[in-house]
Homo-oligomer: A and B are copies of this chain.
Amino acid sequence: MHNLRDDIQLAEPSDRLTDIMTLFSRSEATLLTERELEVRVDAIVQAFVNAKAISTDIDLVTIADQFTDSQIPLTACNVDQYFNELTSNVVSHSIHTSSPQFIGHMTTALPYFVRPLGKLMMAMNQNVVKVETAKTFSFYERQALAMLHRLIYGRSDDFYRQHIQTSESTLGILTTGGTLANITALWCARNAALKPQADFAGVEQEGLLAALEFYGYKGAVIIGSSLMHYSFEKAAGLLGIGDRNLLKIPVDHNHHMDVQVLRKTVAECRDRKQLILAIVGIAGSTESGSIDPLAEIAVIAREAKVHFHVDAAWGGPVLFSEQHAHKLAGIEHADSVTIDGHKQLYLPIGIGMVLLRNPHLAALIEKNASYTVRKDSIDLGKRSLEGSRPGMILFLQAALKLIGQQGYALLIDAGIQKTQYLANQIRQRPEFELLLEPELNLLLYRYIPEPFRQKLATRTLTQAEQQSINDFNELLQNAQRQAGKTFISRTTLSINLYGQKQAIVALRAVIANPLTTKADIDAVLADQLQTAAQLPVVVSPEHANSEVTCDR
């Protein structure tokens, strides 16, 4: 037990300071308060995790009104009061992301062990930026990243022995999510394409203007499919490339990048003396779960000597599945691969990673001019977009061990199988139209109001009628979400339908919760049918705003 008496002598504190120090101490009184809080938290946790409903039907304006006080309380309020407010104002209207009937986003039920580990992480409060505040965690993190590297690249035992705990090597970088992983990959790619030379210090040192000039380029681009996640716009903007120079290759009817257009675009960029920073392939698009033809793209990238990045934030863990891994063939040729931990690795929100084929690529983003120069330093903060970082590796390591390769394979297979079940249900019901054959465990469909079903069958829907169907689906998704019983997300697709490009509002199902059953899927559809029956169908000639709501 830490003795507080010294503090009292030192600081001559008022009773208030003693009170505040009690928050930090390990006195019997504090332990007791912590236990009491734990009991209350446990009750919430159990109710929250058991919940089947998605949320209450409270509207957002009412919630907003509860959080308009902008004054920090002058004095500490008591724990009871704080906790009561937390429960009634915050927890009660939060989203039950673990509900088996919440099948619209990439957030799902988590394994039980993340909860006690969450507490452990807070107690240990390691800062992974450097060994002095993390020690074992630095090595623990390197190990897990090497494991994921091996899952993708399958290099030899020798390779991993050489690089796994060698400070000069970086097999992967842990981030807070896929967005930072994608940005980190493209940061590396930019610095490799415009790297230091004998008489030039490289883009990281000299800046983009000087680098493009030195290398004789008239601008730079990033190329990927039109389904690229919006984090690539952030990357293009941040890195000075410009969103306009994020070239979006159209996709075919399966949502796969059109490699003929890619090939043509690469040649055109060359002709225009534009640097191609990277070509991006998607392994599990956020919109539909589609997978680009990675092997073909890899060949084009290799021929053009361009960095090949694969955004496998969603689809990466499909590699665990013997049955489905072949869909990602070609990913092993990628120079960098993004995987999200908080998606199909079933870890809490806040963990992504980028794996790097070349263990020395990340040297190009190293910041240690006058810092951390110990020759043997293994400080992870040297090569990372972020600085201080929590010990999220605790969760990844636990999951790799407690779920294991076969466990993940079973989860992936089950998700895809359940998605096929949903697809079949949709095919069988006249109220719905399946918009795309699901490749993984994302599924796009829409509701067709009764007046339009005949015309749908004969493929004679007019633009105005399509717009009415769009409006109806938007209304339907809103109403279903607002009621809070079940949940499906929505997106707006630009697809070829009956021979012409159209903006189509789609309902979007994500089947990744291990606890979601056939009965849950039926319940979500039943809720949707019931909700739809109460909504008006309006034939509107106006063009409403298009909209996509998606993860990450």
Contacts and interface: CB of A to CB of B under 8 A. Distances in A.
B548 A370 contact: yes
A357 interface: no
Contacts of A206: 242, 244
23 contacts: A3-B517, A9-B518, A10-B517, A11-B417, A13-B410, A20-B403, A38-B119, A70-B147, A77-B404, A94-B124, A95-B134, A97-B126, A98-B125, A107-B125, A114-B122, A129-B551, A179-B386, A203-B240, A207-B219, A208-B240, A231-B387, A342-B388, A370-B546
A386 B180 contact: yes
**Identical chains bound together, number:** 2
Given A72-B150, A387-B179, A545-B373, A401 B112 contact: no
Contact of A349 (B127, B135, B191, B211): B127
B410 A16 contact: yes
A387 B67 contact: no
Contacts of A45: 119-120, 123
Interface string A169-205: 0000000111110010001000100000000010111
B207 A348 contact: no
A132 interface: yes
A319 to B, nearest CB: 10
Given A16-B406, A20-B411, A352-B388, 17 more contacts: A7-B514, A9-B518, A33-B112, A37-B113, A60-B135, A63-B136, A64-B165, A68-B165, A70-B157, A72-B150, A79-B113, A90-B140, A125-B349, A207-B242, A209-B209, A233-B369, A370-B492
A23 to B, nearest CB: 4
Contacts of A89: 136
B238 A515 contact: no
B349 A6 contact: no
A23 B111 contact: yes
Given A91-B124, A180-B386, A74 B404 contact: yes
A255 B460 CA distance: 75
A390 interface: yes
A352 B231 CA distance: 20
Contacts of A229: 387
A34 interface: yes
A548 B367 CA distance: 12
A interface residue count range (under 10 / 10 to 19 / 20 to 34 / 35 or more): 35 or more
Nearest to A487: B132
A436 interface: no
Contacts of A519: 3, 6
Nearest first, the 6 closest Cβ-Cβ pairs linking A and B are A240-B240, A207-B242, A6-B517, A118-B122, A208-B240, A179-B387
A372 interface: yes
A536 interface: no
A497 interface: no
A462 to B, nearest CB: 24
A371 interface: yes
A95 B135 contact: yes
Given A237-B204, A404-B73, A407-B16, A115 B122 contact: yes
B405 A74 contact: yes
Contact of A94 (B77, B107, B135, B373): B135
A215 interface: no
Contacts of A122: 110, 114-115, 117-118, 348
Interface in A1-23: 1-4, 6-7, 9-11, 13-14, 16-17, 19-21, 23
Interface in A418-441: 418, 421
Interface centre among A16, A21, A40, A388 (most CB of B within 10 A): A388
A70 B348 contact: no
B90 A137 contact: yes
A385 interface: yes
A406 B74 contact: yes
A105 interface: yes
A534 interface: no
Interface string A24-68: 111000110110011011001110111010010000100111111
Given A60-B131, A120-B44, A378-B60, A73 B405 contact: yes
Contacts of A348: 121-122, 125, 390
A164 B372 contact: no
A281 interface: no
A388 B147 contact: no
Contact of A207 (B79, B241, B489): B241
B100 A234 contact: no
A391 B95 CA distance: 12
Interface centre among A33, A112, A212, A365 (most CB of B within 10 A): A112
B44 A142 contact: no
Contact of A421 (B10, B40, B68, B407): B10
A389 interface: yes
A262 interface: no
A29 to B, nearest CB: 10
